[in-house]
Amino acid sequence: MLPRVAAARVVAAVSTDGNSLTACLSGFNDRVAFKDRALLAEMAYGTLREYPALSQILDRLLDKPLKGKDSEVHALLLCGLYQLKHMRIPAHAVVNECVASCRPLRRAWARGLVNGVLREFTRTGAAIEKALAADPVYRFAHPPWLIQCLRQAWPEHWQKILEANNRQAPMTLRVNRQRTTRAAWLAGAESAAGDKSFREAIHSDVGLYLQRARPGSELPG
């Protein structure tokens, strides 16, 4: 399965049907090539993390809202916008791959729509983002109801809370103390593979942070 087809289905299943992202990704991981799994995860997590902001951009690019039955096309467009805004993928590749994903999604009619919307963003995206810059929903990528709750509860700190929410948490590990200690595991990882991408967690004497997230199968031991 094409990674953008999988990403669109995952995002639609979470945003429209209320399913768990972890469960949805697990269900699709084995259906894409191994080399594409990191791309799938980045598109799914990133699109959902930026969903409120991306939705505002998409609303300005569409002539009329998509129908509920076309939630996967809506999700595909959001995935495309996320790639154009936040990933180092050439714009022409993003557009071409998203257009190619319409047919496997059984929405061949949407090829022209996807092509037009994403190309329009490459031309007018800067102006759209400038027009939205003062809107808290776009600026902080949070839903309006949550922004309102935070403003009421913490009127002096709500913006800092939203900014903190948007910081991506590091991948975190817990050392099994029945088998080793954190110091011993770190020493073993560094000597075995010269791997110095780990650092000790602040609030736990068994925790480790990774500078770069990776599959568990790639971790030492």
Whether the CB-CB separation of 114 and 77 falls below 8 Å is answered with yes
- If phi over 0 gives left and psi between -120 and 50 gives alpha, with beta otherwise, what is residue 215? beta
Q: Given pLDDT bands bounded at 50, 70 and 90, which one contains residue 193? A: low
**Residue 200 forms beta bridges with which residues?**
208
| pLDDT tens digits, one per residue of 56-94 | 999 999 999 999 999 999 999 999 999 999 999 999 999
Q: Is the pLDDT of residue 192 over 70?
A: no
> pTM of the prediction?
0.83
Helix (H, G, I), strand (E, B) or coil at 213: coil
